[in-house]
């Protein structure tokens, strides 16, 4: 079965993941009080990655941040060739098909292919600017893992991202997240450069940084690819629809 035929069979169902409109309210933090969200602001999470393949850890991260911060929806954006990571093993169109299968029927999760259509290097700041231009009434919230956040100040035009979006940093249980002095004043939940154990309950405003606790799911795309190459089962590490697809297509059989 080809990628195109498989994806077309599910096209109609995937359109229901277009997102929901919800009011986001509640007191934010003492940091940057002028940048708090007004009542009824629509907040859109932005979660990028290679998704090579998309797995249950990615989806659980998106859902946890969505629910903790009251985000209207979370856009998952597959990257063609990330600047700070190794090149993906599987073609972009195939990864997008798996992503669409994974979010099918999941409320508030949307497969967003915009970065795959760009020529040249993919930059997060371009995505944030594009989202703001398309929907000026919406506030983007960039979702980062702890490792990505530790390199955030190395990103191209990271200051511009902070002018347009909030940041949500995912933290595993018991972990602390170190914050540089330059970013410390933007954080909702930070004392002496270390994130505290208090869980944030509202989305960060533009220029703010919030920390979200997520379950300890030890799942990685690298491990999944290695398991496939060694003949081990990856059932329940990826959604059933993704598992069916990659098995039928013979993906990740070689290390």
Please answer whether residues 95 and 54 qualify as being in contact, where contact means their C-beta atoms are separated by less than 8 angstroms: yes
Ranges 5-14, 29-38, 107-116: which has the least confidence: 29-38
Query: Which pLDDT belongs to residue 83?
Result: 65
Q: Which residues pair with 232 in a beta bridge?
A: none
Which DSSP letter does residue 235 get? B
pLDDT digits (tens, 9 = 90+) for 91-124: 999 999 999 999 999 999 999 999 999 887 889 9
Q: Mutual orientation of helices 92-103 and 56-69 as an angle, nearest 10°?
A: 50
Please, where are the H alpha helices in the chain? Answer: 3-8, 11-14, 56-69, 92-103, 124-134, 146-150, 158-164, 181-184, 221-229, 240-249
CATH class of the domain at 3-249: alpha beta
Angle formed at CA 86 by CA 82 and CA 92, multiple of 5 degrees: 60
Closest C-alpha among 24, 65, 27 to residue 45: 65
* 54-66: pLDDT as tens digits: 999 999 999 999 9
What's residue 41's pLDDT? 67
- Alpha-carbon torsion (225, 121, 160, 40), positive or negative: negative
What is the spatial order of strands in the sheet that 73-78 belongs to? 109-111, 73-78, 42-49, 138-145, 166-171, 209-213
Q: Would you say residue 255 has pLDDT above 80? A: no
Percent of the chain with pLDDT over 70: 77
Compute the CA torsion angle 214, 215, 217, 222 (nearest 10 deg). 0
Please determine, for residue 182, whether its predicted confidence score (pLDDT) is greater than 80: yes
Instruction: Summarize the chain as % helix, strand, coil (round to 5).
Output: 35, 15, 45
| 221 CA to centre of own chain | 14
d(C-alpha 47, C-alpha 78), whole Å: 9
> How are beta strands 42-49 and 138-145 bridged, if at all?
parallel
Answer yes or no: are the C-beta atoms of 168 and 65 closer than 8 Å.
Answer: yes
């Amino acid at each position: 079965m080809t990628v195109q035929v498989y994806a077309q069979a599910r096209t109609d169902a995937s359109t229901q993941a277009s997102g929901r409109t919800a009011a986001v309210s509640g007191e934010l933090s003492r940091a940057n009080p002028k940048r708090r969200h007004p009542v009824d602001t629509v907040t859109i999470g932005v979660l990028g990655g290679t998704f090579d393949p998309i797995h249950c850890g990615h989806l659980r991260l998106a859902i946890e941040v969505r629910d903790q911060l009251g985000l209207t929806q979370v856009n998952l954006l597959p990257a063609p060739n990330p600047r700070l990571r190794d090149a993906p093993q599987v073609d972009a169109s195939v990864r997008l098909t798996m992503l669409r299968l994974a979010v099918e029927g999941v409320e508030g999760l949307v497969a967003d292919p915009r970065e795959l259509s760009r020529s040249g290097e993919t930059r997060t700041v371009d995505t944030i600017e594009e989202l703001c231009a398309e929907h000026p009434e919406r506030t983007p919230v960039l979702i980062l893992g702890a490792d990505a956040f530790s390199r955030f100040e190395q990103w191209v035009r990271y200051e511009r991202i902070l002018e347009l979006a909030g940041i949500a940093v995912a933290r595993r249980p018991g972990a602390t997240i170190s914050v540089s002095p330059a970013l410390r004043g933007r954080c909702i939940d930070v004392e002496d450069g270390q994130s505290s154990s208090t869980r944030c309950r509202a989305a960060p405003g533009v220029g703010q940084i919030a920390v979200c606790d997520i379950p300890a799911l030890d799942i990685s795309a690298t491990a999944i690819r290695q398991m496939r190459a060694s003949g081990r089962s990856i059932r329940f590490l990826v959604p059933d629809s993704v598992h069916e697809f990659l098995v039928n297509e013979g993906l990740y059989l070689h290390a």
